[in-house]
Amino acid sequence: MIPVTGFVGETVAVLGLGRSGLSAARALRAGGAEVIAWDDGEAGRAAAEAEGFVLRDLSKQGALDAVTWLVTSPGIPHLYPAPHPAIANALRAGVPVDNDIGLFFRSLGQGTWSEMEQPPRVVAITGSNGKSTTSALLHHILTEAGRPAELAGNIGRGVLDLDPPEDGAVIVLELSSYQTELARSLTPDVAVFTNLSPDHLDRHYGMGGYFAAKRRLFAEGGPDRAVIGVDDLEGLFLAGQLAEGAADDRVIRISNTQKLGGPGWTVTARKGFLSEMRKGRQVASIDLRKIAGLPGAHNHQNACAAYAAARALGLGPRDIEKGLHNYPGLPHRSQVIAQRDGLTFVNDSKATNADAAAQALAAFPKVRWICGGLQKEGGLDVLRPHLGHVVKAYVIGREAAAFGLQLGDVPQDICGDMETAVVRASAEAQPGEVVLLAPAAASFDQYDSFERRGAHFTALVLGETPQAE
106-325 classified as CATH 3.40.1190.10: yes
pLDDT for 16-57, tens place per residue? 999 899 999 999 999 999 999 999 999 999 999 999 999 999
pTM, rounded to two decimals: 0.84
Q: Is 326 annotated as a binding residue?
A: no
Beta bridge partners of 73: none
Find the angle CA(154)-CA(439)-CA(73) to the nearest 5 degrees: 25
Which residue type occupies 193?
Answer: F
Beta bridge partners of 174: 125, 153
Q: Is 132 annotated as a binding residue?
A: yes
| First vs last C-alpha separation in the chain | 33
Contacts of 178 by beta carbon, 8 Å cutoff, 6+ apart: 74, 75, 200, 203, 213
Query: What is the structure's pLDDT at 134?
Result: 96
What is the mean predicted confidence (pLDDT) over 126-143? 95
For residue 196, pLDDT over 80 is answered with yes
Q: Is 112 annotated as a binding residue?
A: no
Rg, C-alpha atoms of the chain? 23
| Bond prior to 81 in cis (omega within 30° of 0) | yes
The C-alpha atoms of residue 127 and residue 173 are separated, in whole angstroms, by 12
For residue 468, name the pLDDT band (cuts at 50, 70, 90).
very low
pLDDT for 258-291, tens place per residue? 999 889 999 999 999 999 999 999 999 999 998 8
For residue 411, pLDDT over 90 is answered with yes
Phi, psi for 31 (deg, rounded to 5): -90, 0
What is the mean predicted confidence (pLDDT) over 69-77? 95
The residues spanned by each domain of the chain are 11-98, 106-325, 335-461
The C-alpha atoms of residue 361 and residue 442 are separated, in whole angstroms, by 17
For residue 111, pLDDT over 70 is answered with no
The C-alpha atoms of residue 65 and residue 385 are separated, in whole angstroms, by 56
For residue 333, name the pLDDT band (cuts at 50, 70, 90).
confident
Q: Is 5 annotated as a binding residue?
A: no
Beta bridge partners of 343: 340
What is the mean predicted confidence (pLDDT) over 428-447? 95
For residue 221, pLDDT over 80 is answered with no
For residue 378, pLDDT over 90 is answered with no
The C-alpha atoms of residue 106 and residue 462 are separated, in whole angstroms, by 46
Mean pLDDT for the chain overall: 93
What is the mean predicted confidence (pLDDT) over 158-180? 94
**Homologous superfamily of 335-461:** Mur ligase, C-terminal domain (3.90.190.20)
Q: Is 443 annotated as a binding residue?
A: no
User: Smallest Cα–Cα separation from 350: which of 332, 374, 367?
Assistant: 332
Query: What is the structure's pLDDT at 15?
Result: 98
Contacts within 8 Å (CB) and 24+ apart, 206-211: 209/80, 210/177
Whether residue 179 contacts residue 125, with contact meaning beta carbons closer than 8 Å, is answered with no
Q: Is 128 annotated as a binding residue?
A: yes
For residue 135, name the pLDDT band (cuts at 50, 70, 90).
very high
Least confident of 92-96, 293-297, 424-428: 293-297
pLDDT for 222-245, tens place per residue? 899 999 999 999 999 999 999 999
What is the mean predicted confidence (pLDDT) over 425-429? 97
Whether residue 283 contacts residue 316, with contact meaning beta carbons closer than 8 Å, is answered with no
For residue 95, pLDDT over 70 is answered with yes
11-98 in CATH: which number? Answer: 3.40.50.720
Query: What is the structure's pLDDT at 199?
Result: 78
Query: What is the structure's pLDDT at 469?
Result: 47
Q: Is 262 annotated as a binding residue?
A: no
Query: What is the structure's pLDDT at 436?
Result: 97
